[in-house]
Amino acid sequence: MITQQVLAVVPARGDSRSFPGKNLAPFLGRPLVAHTVATAAAAGGVHRVVVTTDDDRIAAVAAGAGADVVRRPTELATATSRTVDGVLHALGTLGVDDRTVVVLVQPTSPLRTPADIDECLDRYPGHGSVVQVTAAESGHHPWKACLLVDGTLRPCHDWADLESPRQLLPAVLRPTGGVYVLRAADLARHRRFFVPEVLPQRVPEDRAVDIDTAADLHLAEQRARALGWSEHHPHGPARPRPVAVAAFSSGTARANSRNREPS
C-alpha cells in the first residue's frame, strides 16, 4: 500500500489542430476533462486531482468538477509542447514534494476506470513506473517497419524480421495513454513518464481508444455504452480499496473526501 501523497495530474491544452475544443467535447453528457477529473477522484488511492491548462474555459470546467487548477504559460501549451513539461511546471508551481507519487491521466483516454488507476498504484513498487497498455493484436507489427536514413531503408529492429511470419514475432503491447504512475523525483530527473523498470497494467483493446478526432470520440462513446456506462454511471466500477493515509496540507482538495458518483 502506498503511504506517500498521490497526485493525479490531468493535462488539458485549449488548442487542438485535429479536433478543436477536444478536451471540452462532451463524453456521456459532460466534458472530457470533467469526466477525467471525476474518474481520478473516484480512485481510492488518489488524494488530489490537479488540471494543468492554458484555457479559461477548461480551467472553469475543471474547477467545477472539483479539481485544483494550475495555469500553464503559453509556451508550454503549443502543438509541439511536451506533456511532461506542462506536468513538471504544475508540480513546481504547487511545490510538490519529490516523494509524491504522480499519476498522469489524460482526457483523451476516457475508457480508463478508477479501478485501472488503483491497479496501477497497487502495482507501483516505489521506483520506475507503471504504464497502462493493451495488446496490439491488429495492424502492422513494428518489427516489420523500416526507417529512412540518409535516403536508404533500415529495419526498425532487424532485417530478418521483415520477412518473418508475424506469428513468430513477440507479442506487442502499446501504451493506451490512459494511466502513468511514477514518483515526482523520477519524473524531474528523467523528464519522461517511461522510467525503467516499467511495469504494465493491461486493459482490453476495446477500452484503449485514444481520442484525436470526432470519430474517435464517437467510437469511445459507443464502446462505453456497450460496456453499460451511461450519464448516470460514467465509468466502470472501482473495486474496494483501503483509503490511503497520506494527505496534503490543509487548504488543498482531497479527492477521497468528495461525493462520488455510483459506479
* pLDDT value at residue 15: 83
SS3 213: coil
**DSSP secondary structure code for residue 112 in this structure:** -
* pLDDT value at residue 68: 98
Backbone angles phi, psi at 48, to 5 degrees: -150, 145
Instruction: Domain 6-136+172-257: give its CATH superfamily.
Output: Spore Coat Polysaccharide Biosynthesis Protein SpsA; Chain A (3.90.550.10)
**Ranges of the chain with pLDDT below 50:** 237-263
* pLDDT value at residue 96: 97
CB burial of residue 49 (10 Å; 0-12, 13-18, 19+): buried
* pLDDT value at residue 3: 67
* pLDDT value at residue 115: 96
pTM: 0.86
CB burial of residue 75 (10 Å; 0-12, 13-18, 19+): exposed
Give the CA distances from residue 229 to residues 28, 32, 42, 223, in Å, rounded to whole numbers and listed in that order.
8, 15, 15, 9
* pLDDT value at residue 247: 38
SS3 108: coil
